[in-house]
Structure 1
Amino acid sequence: MTLIKAKDLTVRHGAHLVLDQVNISVAPGEIVTIVGPNGSGKTSLLRALLGLTPSKGKVTRKAGLVVGYVPQKLALDPTLPLPVRSFLNLPTSHTSQQVADMLDRVGVPGIEARQIAALSGGQLQRVLLARALLEKPDILILDEPTQGLDQMGEAGFYRLIEDVRRDTGVAVLMVSHDLHVVMSASDRVICLNGHICCEGKPHVVQNAPEYRALFGHGTQGALALYQHAHDHDHDCGHDHGHDHHHAHDTAPDEVEHAG
Structure 2
Amino acid sequence: MSAPLLSTRDLTVQFEGLPVLQNVSLDIARGEIVTVVGPNGSGKSTLLKALLGTVPPESGSVQRAPAISIGYVPQKLALDASLPISVARFLSLPKRQSAARIAAQLDRVGVAGLQSHPMQGLSGGQFQRVLLARALLMSPDLLILDEATQGLDQPGVARFYRLIEEVRRDMGCAVLMVSHDLHVVMSASDRVICLNGHVCCQGTPHVVRSAPEYRALFGLGTEGTLALYQHEHDHAHDAEGTHIHGPDCAHAKATLEHSHD
TM-score surpassing 0.5?
yes
4+ long deviations beyond 6 Å: 229-233, 238-242
For structure 1, which segment, 151-160 or 112-121, has the greater mean C-alpha deviation from structure 2 after superposition? 112-121
Contact 1:203 1:240 in 2 (8 A): no
In the alignment, which residue of structure 1 is the partner of 2:86? 83
Contact 1:37 1:179 in 2 (8 A): no
Tell me, in whole angstroms, the C-alpha distance in 2 between the residues paired with 1:133 and 1:112.
16
Tell me, in whole angstroms, the C-alpha distance in 2 between the residues paired with 1:199 and 1:96.
42
In the alignment, which residue of structure 2 is the partner of 1:193? 196
Q: Which runs of 5+ in 2 are unaligned?
A: 250-261
In the alignment, which residue of structure 2 is the partner of 1:33? 35
Q: State the SS of the aligned residue for 2:181.
A: coil
Q: Which runs of 5+ in 1 are unaligned?
A: 243-259
Counterpart of 1:115 in structure 2: which amino acid? P
Q: With structure 2 as the length reference, what TM-score do the two structures score?
A: 0.87
Tell me, in whole angstroms, the C-alpha distance in 1 between the residues paired with 2:74 and 2:234.
27
Within-5 A mapping of 1:171-182: 171-182=174-185
Distance apart, 1:232 and its partner CA: 6.5
Are residues 125 and 227 of structure 1, via their aligned partners in 2, closer, same or farther at CA, if it must alter by over 3 Å?
A: farther
What fraction of aligned residue pairs are identical, expressed as a percent? 60
In the alignment, which residue of structure 1 is the partner of 2:134? 131
Counterpart of 1:119 in structure 2: which amino acid? L
Distance apart, 1:233 and its partner CA: 9.1
In the alignment, which residue of structure 2 is the partner of 1:3? 5
In the alignment, which residue of structure 2 is the partner of 1:118? 121
In the alignment, which residue of structure 1 is the partner of 2:163? 160
In the alignment, which residue of structure 2 is the partner of 1:22? 24
Q: How many residues align?
A: 242
Q: With structure 1 as the length reference, what TM-score do the two structures score?
A: 0.87
In the alignment, which residue of structure 2 is the partner of 1:246? none
The Cα offsets for residues 77-101 of structure 1, whole Å up to 9 and x where unpaired, read as 1221110000001112111111111
Q: State the SS of the aligned residue for 1:97.
A: helix
Q: State the SS of the aligned residue for 1:8.
A: strand
Are residues 167 and 105 of structure 1, via their aligned partners in 2, closer, same or farther at CA, if it must alter by over 3 Å?
A: same
Are residues 43 and 8 of structure 1, via their aligned partners in 2, closer, same or farther at CA, if it must alter by over 3 Å?
A: same
Of 35, 46, 49, 1:47 maps to 49
Q: Which has the higher strand share?
A: 1
In the alignment, which residue of structure 2 is the partner of 1:249? none
In the alignment, which residue of structure 2 is the partner of 1:237? 243
Are residues 5 and 240 of structure 1, via their aligned partners in 2, closer, same or farther at CA, if it must alter by over 3 Å?
A: farther
In the alignment, which residue of structure 1 is the partner of 2:252? none
Contact 1:155 1:226 in 2 (8 A): no
